[in-house]
Amino acid sequence: IPKEKKNRFPAVTKNEPSYQKCCYGTASCAFITSTEADVQIPRTKRLRITNSLASKVDMKVHCKSGAHDLGEQIVRPTESYEFRFKTNVMGTSLFFCSFQWGNEFHYFDVYKNGRDDCSKCFWTIVEKGPCLYGVQGVCHEWNKN
């Protein structure tokens, strides 16, 4: 009679929906209940910010997340600033930027987990606010200060 294999994690089975098995290319795995956290696989996101201001002036852009400060960038008219990042496993990724030109100063969340379902988020910046490039009618108001 063949000997039964013992399950190292007897409370966890592959088909049990209340658990997610997370192995990020490592030999060790973690088991997390879906009630404890909504764990997501980190994804690479590419953000591009294009200066489409009608006034044809330079725009100062300063982007940050909770963990990263990308510093100030000067984006000339019709030119773009681009960066990449990986989303976090908790599904709370957020990148926000300040935009300044002339006497104008605005903020906007250029990537907000749950709102932005894009691997390439290309924003065109106009005076009224940022618009998601290539998606007609998807323009946003600036964040309230």
> Domains plus CATH for the chain?
44-132 (2.60.40.10)
CA distance 133 to 135: 6
Separation between Cα atoms, residue 110 and residue 100, nearest integer Å:
15
Spatial separation of the C-alpha atoms in residues 131 and 108, rounded to whole Å? 11
- Going residue by residue through the chain, which has 145 residues, state the pLDDT in tens, using 9 for 90 and above: 555 544 444 443 334 333 344 444 444 444 443 444 567 787 888 899 999 999 999 999 999 998 899 999 999 999 999 999 888 888 888 899 999 999 999 999 998 887 877 778 899 999 999 998 876 668 899 998 6
Tens digit of each residue's pLDDT (9 = 90 or more) over 31-55: 443 444 567 787 888 899 999 999 9
Longest dimension (CA), the chain: 83
For the chain, report the end-to-end CA distance as a whole number of angstroms.
Answer: 72
Q: Which of 112, 52, 114, 101 is nearest to 81 (CA)?
A: 52
